[in-house]
Structure 1
Amino acid sequence: MSFKNKNFLIVGASSGIGFSLAQSLIEAGANVFTASRTQPNLMANFFFWDAQNPDSNTFNELPTILDGLIYCPGTINLKPFHRLSNEDFLKDFQINLLGAVSVIQANLSRLKAAGNASVVLFSTVAVQTGMGFHASIAASKGAIEGLTKSLAAEFAVSKIRVNAIAPSLTDTPLAKTLLSSPEKIEASNKRHPIGRVGKSEDIASMAKLLLSDDGSWITGQIFHVDGGMSSIRMM
């Protein structure tokens, strides 16, 4: 997979999956641009950007060609349905969906100019597999899956591929409260048929494939990188 001198924008690369992916692409010789509220410790060009207050002008200084766009921001707002407010839903939709819409719209001409660009978005296993207390995040990430398929159809004529990855619980700063003790880690490991929760590198590897020439015939797909959570029931 050759990434040398290709241009990639990763939104949300300050930690977790986005950080791991940025590191991997930089090591492969790519030109990586990151956007988030916190500057990551990476040899990459950084733009301040806030998913709750998106500013399309943030990206004015990007190159005229983008070979890939990856939108990583997400939320884990787990509450009983009766305790979820309209504000909870709106915040999750803003960060998970509308932030992605804003970034894609701001960079669409750059993606078209590449002639073979790839967009990678992120859903969650909770969209396909019903889970209690996930109403708000599953609703907003479900919208991401709909957006993925719609944009894949619309952008195909421009040779822009659009795919999404739907992980299960992954050991990142976003999930720290769910993995805050050995007991919680052990319980979470046991819930996954493969016997462990995900690592950021597990998900970043899939994203890297979708950005590469090896993934050039893949579009409109939702990839369940989830340790078997969505498809396997152990005896």
Structure 2
Amino acid sequence: MSERLQGKTAIVTGAASGIGKQVALRFLREGARVAFADRDAEAVTALVADLGEGARAAVMDISDEASVAQAMEALVADGWSPDVAVVNAGVQLFGHDAKAADLDLEVWRRTIDINLTGSFLTIKHVVRAMLATGGGSIILTGSPTGVRGEGADFTAYSASKAGMHGLGRTVAAAYARDGIRVNTVIPAYTETPLVSTLTGDDEARTAIVGRIPMGRAGSAEDVEGVMVYLASDDSAFATGAAFAVDGGMSTL
């Protein structure tokens, strides 16, 4: 492993499973100290138990500002102020999210509260910490549904991700001169527990993979490599950008 993140401290939200977990583990292997942040205290605590002193759990409900603020204050107080933040935690309420005319308001609110408001609250408190230390890199996990009409049956999720993309661009512009970079990674079909819930069966999976020019689904490893680049100093002049990790789907 190259240890491209040696000397850096990172926080990754939604780190108890899926892409967040894989990215956090990769950052560790690349030499960073990593705060694994998740609202599932039991899962995230168990995950970091055997990872050594370079990993710690940060129990955080991103939709609750007091929870985010307390977790960030604890990290800063312990000398873990982040150089890198991966804003990854989110939900997609399969079986409940729907076309606009059929969408229940509570499903809309819960999705927006976690995906968009939660991203804002995480960014807000991460930016405050980074301003005090001279900057850093913030990486958002976006979605194709946030940039094109891929999610006709997922109104709340698509809207939340579109808002996240806009939020990222705005924060990037606002804090560029403060040394804070903000970029978005856009995975397409990636083999994670969340996406497996969407496909449900081999026929559905085959249909989705058939639309990918590279002819295969993405993996967490595909996504984490781009995130390592954005977390590292190699991407020092990249901000406000969106990086598609979708096997060519964005070319269609």
Alignment TM-score, normalising by the size of structure 1: 0.92
Which letter maps to 1:221? Answer: A
How far apart in 2 are the matches of 1:16 and 1:114? 30
Q: Count residues in correspondence.
A: 232
CA contact (8 A) 1:166 1:222 kept: yes
1:190 aligns with 2:201: no
Between stretches 217-226 and 107-116, larger displacement belongs to: 107-116
1:57-76 residue pairs with structure 2 within 5 A?
57-63=70-76, 65-76=81-92
Q: Secondary structure at the match of 2:216?
A: coil
Alpha-carbon RMSD: 1.7
1:159 aligns with 2:175: no
Q: Secondary structure at the match of 2:250?
A: coil
Which residues of structure 2 form unaligned runs of 5+? none
How far apart in 2 are the matches of 1:53 and 1:180? 31
CA contact (8 A) 2:62 2:122 kept: no
Q: Secondary structure at the match of 1:62?
A: helix
Residue among 52, 58, 76 paired with 1:47 = 58
1:5 Cα deviation from its structure 2 partner: 2.5
1:116 Cα deviation from its structure 2 partner: 4.1
Which letter maps to 2:204? Answer: K
Residue among 136, 139, 142 paired with 2:159 = 139
1:107 Cα deviation from its structure 2 partner: 2.5
1:104-161 C-alpha deviation (Å, 9 max, x unpaired): 2223232124434100012211122213213211111111111111100111111000
Between stretches 59-68 and 133-142, larger displacement belongs to: 59-68
Which letter maps to 2:215? Answer: G
Residue among 19, 29, 38 paired with 1:17 = 19
2:244 alignment partner in structure 1: 224
CA contact (8 A) 1:79 1:134 kept: yes
1:35 aligns with 2:55: no
Alignment TM-score, normalising by the size of structure 2: 0.86
Which residues of structure 1 form unaligned runs of 5+? none
How far apart in 2 are the matches of 1:29 and 1:221? 25
Sequence identity, in percent? 31
2:149 alignment partner in structure 1: 130
